Amino acid sequence: MSDSVSLQEITDFTEALAREAGELIRHEREENTLRTDYKHQTELVTHADVMADEFITGTIRERFPHHRILSEETMPDLSQAEELETPLWIVDPIDGTVNYAYGHPQVAVSIAYAEKGKVRVGVVHAPFPGETFRATESEGATLNNQPIRHSGATNPRQSLFATGFPYTKDNLEPLVRRLDAMIHQCRDLRRIGSAALDICWVACGRLDIYYENVSPWDFAAARLIAKEAGATVGHFGEVPEGYPADLYGRDILISAPAVWAPVRSILRTASGYD
């Protein structure tokens, strides 16, 4: 363990950090005028995103000065995920920024800790409902300190699924094909607006299936939480050789174990992979 710190200590540090950041963004929305901007001309970002990101990354740097950080707002360099020798923190200060800006409660702080490309600690904190999901590798997953498990769904037709859509709308055809296949072969769709919470909801049984293309900061922490809750985590497409699967965000599929293979087949066929 890096810097002679146990995984349990890392998890406790991560949870405390996520909770503090959650209080910051909650206070910012409830007490101050919301300030928004756009990055890449289409993607909404708020002043609170940047404030929370700077708070989280600054605190990590102070505690672990030799670790690397991959964060959505201030250090979004995806090549960080390919450099495996130094411990890596993966941070999303506000997952669900559009929800945040519109006053919706489905907003989360997501922080993951990885060693050699393997995520070993994950915390997803939703400040508005006051829910904290956490997992340490091989120790199980919890919601507000209570153990959680996947839904146990066995049939896609009786399964509730979630997915999301990108800010840019110039290549929606493959997504629409997948959505059309899933909506016809599953119970129904939920569009929550936060990938981290989608995955945590699979972990605790509120959803049965989640799939999407996302960035590491959106899913790294929640993926471990789902895995530790007994869900099957993987991809319906291929992971490039040598790239850590824990951090590869294209064609993610996370679900109750019994429906994972049939849903993977549905998504592969709809994507033209088979």
- Annotated binding residues for Mg(2+): 72, 92, 94-95, 218
- Annotated binding residues: 72, 92, 94-95, 218
Count other C-beta atoms under 10 Å from residue 111's C-beta.
28
Structure tokens at 195: 């990938």
Phi, psi of 63 (to 5 degrees): -80, -35
C-alpha distances out from residue 87 to 73, 82, 125, 139, 206, Å? 20, 12, 22, 20, 32
Rounded to whole angstroms, the Cα distance separating 218 from 199 reads: 10
Tally the residues of the chain: 274
Q: Please calculate the CA angle 247-257-254 and round it to the nearest 5 degrees.
A: 30
Angle between helices 47-63 and 7-31 (to 10 degrees): 150
Closest by CA position to 135, among listed 213, 193, 68, 202: 202
